[in-house]
Amino acid sequence: MSSSTQRIGVVGYGHLGQFLVDRILRDGSGLGLSLAFVWNRNPDKLRGLVPEDLILTDLSSFSDRRCDVVVEVCHPQIIGEFGPHFLSQSHLLVGSPSALSDPDLNQKLRQAAQQSGNTLYVPSGALWGGQDIQRLNDSGGLKSLFIRMSKHPSCFRLTGDVLSEWTEGEGRRVLFKGSVAELCPLAPNNVNTMAAAAVAAGSLGFSGVQGEIVSDTELRDFHVVEVEVTGHGGFSVHTVRRNPAKLGAVTGSATYNSFWNSLLVCKGHGGRVYLC
Ligand SMILES: NC(=O)c1ccc[n+]([C@@H]2O[C@H](COP(=O)([O-])OP(=O)(O)OC[C@H]3O[C@@H](n4cnc5c(N)ncnc54)[C@H](O)[C@@H]3O)[C@@H](O)[C@H]2O)c1
């Protein structure tokens, strides 16, 4: 192993975690990546699939594995519990950026990044044009940002009873419209793209960026992500992204590759938040 090999710790072994672990084991050496550990709430799910010496059973001892990047792909709750600690030791790629909608945690993570010099990476996910939005924001030209995510009802994982009942063929239904800050606790697994947008549009923040989630039984093969950006002086951009997705899947298949590309960016960009 060369000294430039980056050691990656993967936290969570659901769909995205399995994809990343397989890809690192398969392609990592050619790209200068190796696995430092894999953690899952239930370690039994890892047995036989992940080499025994790479299984981490106690997440609080992650720093013993000396990794360069921790990749969180399980739940915003883990960012709340461990995020600042991860960042104090290594770069952090936060797969559940809806965690950043909590202003207190957001502040703690930024502080931990600043103090350690490690980077908090936020993957752009299914967001098209995230870097452009960030540039417009940084130049002071961003006025408003609106994101609509439309999916088949089986693809939503919502808290509360926003979508307790639905029938095949019912068509289109707006489930919620409001700020991304309000949407994050309601749909923590469905608003990662919106959370990335709120990070890109830092001047508007989670309470300033507006979002809408729409259930549509016609959308059996893809998710639709629409972004409307307005700037000063009549500037506007409207994008519509169709993200192929299996019925019932929270995450579109193009998003897996996008996440992998985000991981390849995590080489260290100083003690700040970086959209990748
Ligand atoms: N940013 C992005 O582009 C992007 C894309 C896809 C998924 N995600 C997010 O990444 C995370 C993983 O996605 P996935 O598709 O692999 O989901 P998944 O449901 O397949 O896997 C989640 C895993 O985390 C575990 N888990 C759930 N709640 C937990 C908790 N409170 N504490 C510890 N472990 C817990 C589950 O047991 C499961 O193993 C989710 O938060 C999802 O919203 C982000």
How much distance in Å is there from the Cα of 143 to the middle of ligand 1?
Answer: 32
Q: How far is residue 272's CA from residue 245's CA, in Å, rounded to a whole number? A: 32
Tell me how long the chain is: 276
Indicate the pTM of the whole model: 0.92
Q: How far is residue 129's CA from residue 244's CA, in Å, rounded to a whole number? A: 18
Residue nearest to atom 18 of ligand 1 (CA): 14
Q: Work out which ligand 1 atom sits closest to the CA atom of 74.
A: 24
- Predicted local distance difference test score (pLDDT) of residue 30: 95
**The dihedral formed by the CA atoms of 251, 256, 260 and 262, expressed in degrees to the nearest 10:** -40
Q: Work out which ligand 1 atom sits closest to the CA atom of 125.
A: 3
How much distance in Å is there from the Cα of 140 to the middle of ligand 1?
Answer: 34
Question: Regarding beta strands 6-11 and 69-72, do their DSSP bridges make them parallel or antiparallel, or are they unpaired?
Answer: parallel
How much distance in Å is there from the Cα of 4 to the middle of ligand 1?
Answer: 29
- Predicted local distance difference test score (pLDDT) of residue 3: 56
Burial of residue 48, with CB atoms counted within 10 A of its CB: 0-12 exposed, 13-18 middle, 19 or more buried? exposed
Q: Decide: 96 in ligand 1 pocket, CB within 6 A.
A: yes
Q: Decide: 20 in ligand 1 pocket, CB within 6 A.
A: no
- Predicted local distance difference test score (pLDDT) of residue 2: 45
Q: How far is residue 37's CA from residue 53's CA, in Å, rounded to a whole number? A: 8
Q: How far is residue 28's CA from residue 51's CA, in Å, rounded to a whole number? A: 15
Q: Ligand 1, residues 74, 192, 213, 253: which to mutate, most atoms within 8 A of Cβ? A: 74
**Full set of structural domains in the chain with CATH:** 6-125+256-275 (3.40.50.720), 130-250 (3.30.360.10)
- Predicted local distance difference test score (pLDDT) of residue 1: 42
Give the pLDDT means over successive 10-residue stretches in the chain (276 positions).
Answer: 81 96 96 97 96 97 96 96 98 96 96 98 93 95 97 88 86 96 89 94 96 96 96 96 88 86 96 94
Q: Decide: 130 in ligand 1 pocket, CB within 6 A.
A: no
